[in-house]
Structure 1
Amino acid sequence: MEQDWSEQYKIVWNIFLAHPQSVENGISRRGLSRCLGISSGKTQKWEAGQWPSAEDLSKLHDKLGLSYRWLITGVGEPFDSEEDTANLNDSAEAERLRSRVAELERENAALKERLLAAHEANTEMGRANAKLSELVAKQSEQGLDRGDVESAGAVRGVPQGGILESVTSKN
């Protein structure tokens, strides 16, 4: 479920500006980040419309007193009212909210896995690039290029590619 969270962010920002925490942490986006204990990059992403993680929604609730219902659905008022509290006691509504939180947690876990896989692939590519650079440097030092190696092999009766494979496998 993709939703644009930028409108809710604007409301969160205005609530933060009126909150005592804004004076303590600084009336700035960095101050909001400090207040919540998150990176300023996260607040920038929220401003651009990215949905906060379940953990971040919990921080918004705890630090600024925002209603979980409003944070998750955007419906109703940002702060709990008696009516909101009564609705949360409704088992169907509570189940729907628990389901949404679980969905956000799964999305967060999937994104973490993708990030880790991308990091591992990037690390492996870096290692391969370093090894390739070493091989190219060694061949350059020896004054050999692929054409030199292949023609030398043909002169001596070695099948084409045989010497090159031999040279590169030793390095």
Structure 2
Amino acid sequence: MRALEASGRLRRANERVAEYQSRIPIAALWGDGDKASADMMSLDASRHLWNARIDPRRRTYAAGIYTHVRDRWGIVYDQPIVLNERQAGVALEGVEHHNRAEDRIRLSLLAVDTHGYTNPAMAIAKLLGFDLCPRLRDLAERNLYLPRIFSIPEGLEPATVRRVSLTAIERWLG
């Protein structure tokens, strides 16, 4: 934890490793460098650390570190966060931080899990020029609600519910 607490040390080390990996010819086979995935890892911490919380799985004090891993396997961004918090903000921040540098390949897609997804985050990601691609928990239980008059592809039929009333919407907009 002391190495992580030193200001910027971990981030500089990760940037150097990612830069080195990008120069290795075989890394081009791993991906174009424009896609990344992000998730949080739980790291053991002292209970005196201001953002340490009880890890629900291990029942010990821990702090979260949210990392962005590019498709060429370098960690391009890391940020300490509080456990069990929504991670959409730090997911967006990591891509924007990476894309700010002129000499880097811009990230065009970020894959996140359910904690890295919110509807506003999807909109902000589009405005910033990249796609936020969540893997949503219990996706099989989610439905697309449509008016009866909409035509949809046959493959989407099992995931749709046709109960939206356009008349009720028009009355409400009034």
Between the two structures, name the one with larger relative contact order (CA 8 Å, sep ≥ 6). Answer: 2
More helix by share: 1
Greater Rg by CA:
1
TM superposition score normalised by structure 1? 0.23
